[in-house]
Structure 1
Amino acid sequence: MNAPVTLHAAATWTAPALVLRPWCADDVTALVEAYRDPGLRRWASPPVEGAEDGLRWVRDRERDWASGTRFGFAVLEETLGAPAVAGHVVLKGVGPGKPSAEVGYWTAARARGRGVAPRALDALGTWAFESFRADGLECLELLHQADNAASCRVAEKSGYAFGRILPSAPPSYPLDGHLHLRHADDARSALSASSASSALSGLRPIVQP
């Protein structure tokens, strides 16, 4: 599959709905701005220093789509004005006969605290299983460095259960990592289950990371 895809995630009580679509050249300015955040630069690679790097990054994502094995989405918040880039999610390593694939993400600093990552990952995971389970996809993996506590919380909220500790492998992976897993046989998305739980508990609002 390499045709463009658009995904959606519902609004919450405190945050707008999300649209997920392939990156394009019009996103370069927002991408460069997002990469100015030291917190993002710590975890994401390669660095994006300016417009030239940003356009190269976008063209790489377009080639990924053309390859049919890696699918990166710009995550946009549906605001009153033009939709604003709030983050990125990616499905990678998918292919015929492969039982597992990996997901990754980042959230722009200005959009943190509004549940962007869990909602975007939930939409991505649902699409991944609907699109590739017939080809053998049964499990999605989310990996992060062991000292990234925020990613642990996002994984749990997105339905990715902790699997095991991955030993360090310097120099590329200087610290241990965590492997989280989400299986195709999960009956409902983590966000749907959390919403149902809140309803049964007196409609208490869900606090997103």
Structure 2
Amino acid sequence: MPIELSAPATVTASELVLRPWRDDDLDALLEAYRDPVLQRWTRYPVTTSAIGRQWLDRARRDFDRDSRFSFAVVENDAGAARLVAQVVLKGVAPGRPAPEVGYWTAAWARGRGVAPRAVTALSRWAFDRFPALTHLDLLHQVDNPASCRVAEKSGYLFQEVLPARPPFPLDGHRHALLAP
């Protein structure tokens, strides 16, 4: 799947566009977070407009600081861009060889391969943007088999079981993708 870096902070991948979050994404963000499945797996649920605006402000601020890169994943739906997912590269710091990749998929976009395509695009972007990275980690709780499938489809290999740590009550899986 070809990845095109069309601008410093925009990535395209197989009919998806990964771009920084914008103020006009608020309604779509709130709609996505109404999903109880998404709420189950996230640390910071977006439940009100005020929380959504704070979430968007933090995403942009972190992006500007080059510390956490959160992308809205959109696709064209009858000529209009529609939010289908989020991918994030977190824990980017000098001397840290392996930041973490995270993601969620909106309920209406699940089962169509959106998450693996977006995670693959983000991973390639991360290795291009930060050539000193040795690998990327993808973590999830053991009771989330869908995330295991996304990791595998995105080329991440299972590495180990991690002990539970707050705020997650169960053990987790760590998958890794080595730098090309």
Deviation at 1:4, TM superposition (A): 5.3
- Give the TM-score taking structure 1 as reference length: 0.80
Deviation at 1:5, TM superposition (A): 0.7
Query: Aligned partner of 2:161: which letter?
Result: I
CA distance in 1, matches of 2:42, 2:156: 20
**Residue in 2 aligned with 1:162?**
158
Check conservation: 1:4, 1:21, Cα contact below 8 A.
Answer: no
SS at match of 2:167: coil
SS at match of 2:169: coil
CA distance in 2, matches of 1:82, 1:54: 22
Check conservation: 2:116, 2:150, Cα contact below 8 A.
Answer: yes
| Structure 2 residue runs without a partner (length 5+) | 1-6
CA distance in 2, matches of 1:168, 1:123: 29
**Which residue of 21, 31, 34 corresponds with 1:33?**
31
Check conservation: 1:87, 1:116, Cα contact below 8 A.
Answer: yes
**Residue in 2 aligned with 1:181?**
176
**Residue in 2 aligned with 1:205?**
none
What is the count of residue pairs matched by the alignment? 174
CA distance in 1, matches of 2:77, 2:38: 23
| Structure 1 residue runs without a partner (length 5+) | 11-16, 186-209
**Residue in 1 aligned with 2:138?**
142
C-alpha RMSD over aligned residues: 1.2
CA distance in 2, matches of 1:102, 1:82: 31
Query: Aligned partner of 1:182: which letter?
Result: L
SS at match of 1:179: strand
CA distance in 1, matches of 2:93, 2:164: 27
Query: Aligned partner of 2:152: which letter?
Result: E
SS at match of 1:72: strand
CA distance in 2, matches of 1:172, 1:161: 24
SS at match of 1:100: coil
CA distance in 2, matches of 1:168, 1:37: 24
Which has more radius of gyration? 1
Deviations, residues 114-151 of structure 1 (Å, cap 9, x unaligned): 11100000000001001101xx2110000000000100
Check conservation: 2:43, 2:167, Cα contact below 8 A.
Answer: no
CA distance in 1, matches of 2:43, 2:96: 25
Structure 2 counterparts to residues 63-82 of structure 1, below 5 A: 63-82=61-80
Query: Aligned partner of 2:72: which letter?
Result: A
**Residue in 2 aligned with 1:191?**
none
* Identity level (%): 57
- Give the TM-score taking structure 2 as reference length: 0.93
Deviation at 1:95, TM superposition (A): 2.4
